[in-house]
């Protein structure tokens, strides 16, 4: 999974399809992500000493990572992503269609550099 905290993603499936948001949490064990302002549910609170009124609290719930796509920085559209190895041996995460760099996954390593 190439999604990290603070990435901007767009929901591609479900009730919130088309919404964009920042990733708040990533659970790699379950393959879930929590996106700001997406997949909201209400938590009902009983009246208590701290909250005498009670009420409903809106919170984000995790959703499957397969239902979101990263945003391509050049086209500002959701994109599939892939890994590209550079001649110096570094590994980059790139958008499939535009081949735009999204982030550097690993620094240059002479062990993986292309020999000419």
Measured distance CA(34)–CA(72) in Å, rounded = 20
On whether the CB atoms of residues 33 and 63 are closer than 8 A, the answer is yes
Q: pLDDT tens for the chain, 116 residues: list them.
A: 899 999 999 999 999 999 999 999 999 999 999 999 999 999 999 999 988 999 999 999 999 999 999 999 999 999 999 999 888 889 999 999 999 999 999 888 777 777 76
On whether the CB atoms of residues 81 and 65 are closer than 8 A, the answer is no
> What local confidence, expressed as pLDDT, does residue 116 receive?
61
Comma-separated ranges of CATH 2.30.30.30 domains in the chain: 1-71
Q: What is the DSSP letter of 62?
A: -
C-alpha distances out from residue 53 to 9, 42, 82, 105, Å: 36, 16, 50, 49
On whether the CB atoms of residues 47 and 103 are closer than 8 A, the answer is no
Q: Other CB atoms closer than 10 Å to residue 34's CB: what's the count?
A: 18
> What local confidence, expressed as pLDDT, does residue 51 receive?
87
> What's this model's pTM, rounded to 2 decimal places?
0.83
Q: Other CB atoms closer than 10 Å to residue 63's CB: what's the count?
A: 19
Measured distance CA(22)–CA(12) in Å, rounded = 15
CATH fit for domain 1-71, picks 1.10.238.10, 1.20.1260.10, 2.40.100.10, 2.30.30.30: 2.30.30.30
Number of residues written out for the chain: 116
């Amino acid at each position: 999974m190439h999604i990290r905290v603070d990435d901007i993603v767009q929901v591609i499936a479900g009730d919130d399809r088309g919404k964009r948001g920042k990733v708040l949490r990533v659970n790699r064990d379950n393959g879930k992500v929590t996106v700001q302002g997406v997949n909201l549910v209400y938590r009902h609170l009983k009246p208590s000493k701290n909250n005498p009124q009670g009420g409903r609290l809106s919170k984000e719930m995790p959703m499957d990572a397969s239902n979101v796509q990263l945003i391509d920085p050049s086209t500002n559209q959701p994109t599939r992503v892939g890994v590209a190895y550079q001649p110096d041996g570094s590994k980059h995460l790139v958008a499939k269609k535009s081949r735009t760099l999204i982030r550097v996954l690993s620094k240059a390593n002479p062990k993986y550099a292309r020999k000419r």
